[in-house]
A and B are shown apart, each in its own frame.
Chain A
Amino acid sequence: MSEITREQVQHLAGLARIALTDDEVTSLTTELSQIVDAIATVREVAGDDVPATSHPVPMANVLRADEAGETLTHAEAFAGAPSHDGERFRVSAILGEEQ
């Protein structure tokens, strides 16, 4: 059993800007541990000789014609934004450098 802590779940929720109740933190701590364990099992099976599967469906070249479609209005775009100036999204001061 992996060691996912309540603190880690709370930290993750903070980063993802999701408010969690104590009960939710408890259940997510258990569930995330199970997910991490499941992945650990897969890791035991997959050796260097097994190529990683990225696309389970054998298809390629699903392409789109270069034709403009609909755009969002400012009202739609900003509907879920915590802050904006009417034209642009407003975000907290950025500490790091652009990538």
Chain B
Amino acid sequence: MKAKLMDFDKALELFEPVLGFEVHVELGTSTKMFSAAPNPAHPEFHGAEPNTLIDPLSLGLPGSLPVTNETAVRYSISLGLALGCQIATSCRFARKNYFYPDTPKNYQISQYDEPIAFEGAVEIELASGRQVTVPIERAHMEEDAGKLTHVGGSTGRIQGAEYSLVDYNRAGVPLVEIVTHMIFGAEHDAPELARAYVGAIRDIVLSLGISEARMERGNLRCDANVSLRPRGSQQLGTRTETKNVNSMRSVERAVRYEIQRQAAILADGGTITQETRHWHEDTGETSPGRPKSDADDYRYFPEPDLLPVEPSRELVEELRAALPEQPVARKRRLKAEWGFSDLEFQDVVNGDMLHVVEATVAAGAAPQSARKWWTGEIARVANERGVEAASLVEPAHVAELQRLIDERTLSDRLARQALEGVMAGEGSPAEVAEARGLKVVTDESALVAAVDEALAAQPDVLAKIRDGKVQAAGAVIGAVMKAMRGQADAARVREIVLERAAG
């Protein structure tokens, strides 16, 4: 049954939305949080067969004991610092007890009342230029659970399944869970803020180099809490928690949907059930999950198998000194350095190409050239193939391609052919150009001969050019380029056409 929705603007007129987010970040360490089993979130171990990245601890076998991963702790502190948090002088792990087959120990090792990082803030800049500060309550370390596949039943979902299959590769992957305080005042920007917040976390994580932060792979997962309260009311409404929304666009849509759904219920005099909800990408709706009370009794208690983590102040300061520039500041700096218009820059940001354009510029390309390649030809191919642009070609190769154009070794058209070869794995642009025989004809006499031939073949065009209709030259240039199989510099051909026509 379709839920009734209220018009978004109408909902905002009657109610004030209050937001909160829990974002899980999988850290890209080599090994798991508490054992030396390889980490599937590390690039080296992508796509491993099920249950091959496991050791006794991943399976919760009797007698296995956890030992904390030092790199995961360092990454967590860096992330905490980048979120503007204080870092605990001492913190313990805790057992979160629950009985479910994705966690064979029957508890998840997490942190409860002693998170490693707490009380920070993230600055968000919306498309309108509006600045919003998202208050961070805490960021704590924990381990991921295994992955379940429900078999039988028609939908592959829990309901109606005959049995479930479990892959424990993901069990024990280091996670940092970032929890915000309640966010007030987002108003009409609430859906956009949700998207921008997750984007900001992703940018921070990427700039720290602690995770690949690919939402479609589950490296970054967002649970969005939404509640509404009538205008003028000081009392908070009942919230829902939409789980595991796996793209930035979906986060935005899910928040908008929940606002509209809850508003329709409240306006009809109904009540909101406090529950988790699942986002469905295909229908653009959420559906009820399980009821969730604030008093969820996970029987937390301090993890007796792990000793406290007490980050030294020297370590914290060392990591603070190594922090990269904040994403918002970085964006502002790059936009100014590159001299892009708002529209051009927005294109790059929306296409998720800030880092590749930056790397291309660093490799020697002019910013505008780098932008045109990435948001043009490469984005087009990426769309066509349904892959990330960054996965198609190295920034250094894009810079090399542009250099070949600037040196007039390749024309734009030849460069696109060379790019095609580079994306097909045939080597660097220069190697592809060499192998495919792509080269602008620089032999002047050959060009002149081709121009003369083309002019002789089109006497009417020649007459027009002599009458001062310079734009008519296009037909002749086209014929020459064709004769040269595209391997001529069109600008030079044009010059020769005009010279010879005049002569």
Known contacts A66-B31, A88-B51, A88-B149, A52 near B302 by CB under 8 Å: yes
Which of B59, B71, B103 makes the CB contact (< 8 A) with A77? B59
Which of A55, A90, A97 makes the CB contact (< 8 A) with B163? A90
**Which positions 138-195 of chain B face chain A at CB distance < 8 Å?**
145, 148-150, 152, 158, 161-168
Give the contact stretch, choosing among B11-19, B305-313, B398-406: B305-313
Q: How far is the CA of A58 from the CA of B228 in the complex (A)?
A: 48
- We find that the number of chain A residues with CB closer than 8 angstroms to chain B is 35
Asked if B101 contacts A94 (CB within 8 A), the reply is: yes
Nearest CB on B from A83, distance (A): 8
Determine the residue in chain A with the shortest Cβ distance to B311: A61
Determine the residue in chain B with the shortest Cβ distance to A55: B307
Asked if B307 contacts A61 (CB within 8 A), the reply is: yes
Q: How far is the CA of A93 from the CA of B150 in the complex (A)?
A: 8
Query: With an 8 A cutoff between CB atoms, is A92 at the interface?
Result: yes
Q: How far is the CA of A33 from the CA of B211 in the complex (A)?
A: 49
Determine the residue in chain B with the shortest Cβ distance to A97: B290
Query: With an 8 A cutoff between CB atoms, is A39 at the interface?
Result: no
Asked if B37 contacts A90 (CB within 8 A), the reply is: no
Query: With an 8 A cutoff between CB atoms, is A42 at the interface?
Result: no
Asked if B90 contacts A60 (CB within 8 A), the reply is: yes
Can you list, as one digit per residue, whether each of A56-99 has a CB less than 8 Å from chain B (1) or not (0)?
01011111111111111010010010000101111111111111
Nearest CB on B from A9, distance (A): 19
Asked if B70 contacts A65 (CB within 8 A), the reply is: yes
Which of A60, A66, A88, A99 makes the CB contact (< 8 A) with B72? A66
Determine the residue in chain B with the shortest Cβ distance to A66: B71
Nearest CB on A from B97, distance (A): 10
Nearest CB on B from A88, distance (A): 4
Which of A61, A68, A94, A97 makes the CB contact (< 8 A) with B36? A68
Nearest CB on A from B224, distance (A): 17
Asked if A62 contacts B67 (CB within 8 A), the reply is: yes
Asked if B164 contacts A66 (CB within 8 A), the reply is: no
Q: How far is the CA of A71 from the CA of B310 in the complex (A)?
A: 30
Asked if A92 contacts B68 (CB within 8 A), the reply is: no
**Which positions 87-102 of chain B face chain A at CB distance < 8 Å?**
90, 92, 98, 100-102
Determine the residue in chain A with the shortest Cβ distance to B36: A69
Asked if A89 contacts B73 (CB within 8 A), the reply is: no
Query: With an 8 A cutoff between CB atoms, is A27 at the interface?
Result: no
**Which positions 16-73 of chain B face chain A at CB distance < 8 Å?**
29-31, 35-38, 49-56, 59, 61, 67-73
Query: With an 8 A cutoff between CB atoms, is B276 at the interface?
Result: yes
- Residues in B whose Cβ lies below 8 Å from that of A70: 36, 55
**Which positions 17-51 of chain A face chain B at CB distance < 8 Å?**
none
Q: How far is the CA of A91 from the CA of B150 in the complex (A)?
A: 10
Nearest CB on B from A39, distance (A): 13
Interface of B is mostly: loop
Q: How far is the CA of A31 from the CA of B309 in the complex (A)?
A: 36
Q: How far is the CA of A66 from the CA of B72 in the complex (A)?
A: 8
Which of B37, B68, B301 makes the CB contact (< 8 A) with A71? B37
Query: With an 8 A cutoff between CB atoms, is B270 at the interface?
Result: no
Query: With an 8 A cutoff between CB atoms, is B304 at the interface?
Result: yes
Q: How far is the CA of A26 from the CA of B157 in the complex (A)?
A: 42
Q: How far is the CA of A55 from the CA of B305 in the complex (A)?
A: 9
- We find that the number of chain B residues with CB closer than 8 angstroms to chain A is 57
Asked if B69 contacts A66 (CB within 8 A), the reply is: yes
- Residues in A whose Cβ lies below 8 Å from that of B152: 93
Q: How far is the CA of A98 from the CA of B101 in the complex (A)?
A: 9
Which of A52, A95, A97 makes the CB contact (< 8 A) with B276? A97
Nearest CB on A from B163, distance (A): 6
Nearest CB on A from B13, distance (A): 34
Which of A57, A62, A88 gathers the greatest number of chain B CB atoms within 10 Å?
A88
Determine the residue in chain A with the shortest Cβ distance to B167: A88
Determine the residue in chain A with the shortest Cβ distance to B48: A71
Determine the residue in chain B with the shortest Cβ distance to A69: B36
Q: How far is the CA of A68 from the CA of B165 in the complex (A)?
A: 26
Query: With an 8 A cutoff between CB atoms, is B289 at the interface?
Result: yes
Asked if A72 contacts B54 (CB within 8 A), the reply is: yes
Nearest CB on A from B168, distance (A): 7
Can you add 8 more A-B contacts, CB < 8 Å, to A87-B165, A92-B163, A94-B148?
A57-B307, A61-B307, A64-B36, A66-B30, A68-B30, A72-B59, A89-B168, A98-B148
**Can you give 19 contacting A-B residue pairs, CB < 8 Å?**
A52-B302, A54-B303, A59-B307, A60-B307, A60-B308, A60-B310, A61-B309, A64-B67, A65-B71, A67-B36, A71-B53, A72-B56, A74-B51, A88-B51, A88-B167, A89-B165, A91-B164, A93-B163, A97-B158
**Chain B residues with a Cβ under 8 A of chain A:** 29-31, 35-38, 49-56, 59, 61, 67-73, 90, 92, 98, 100-103, 145, 148-150, 152, 158, 161-168, 276, 289-290, 301-304, 306-310
Leading 7 A-B pairs by shortest Cβ distance: A69-B36, A54-B302, A66-B71, A97-B290, A63-B70, A88-B165, A89-B166
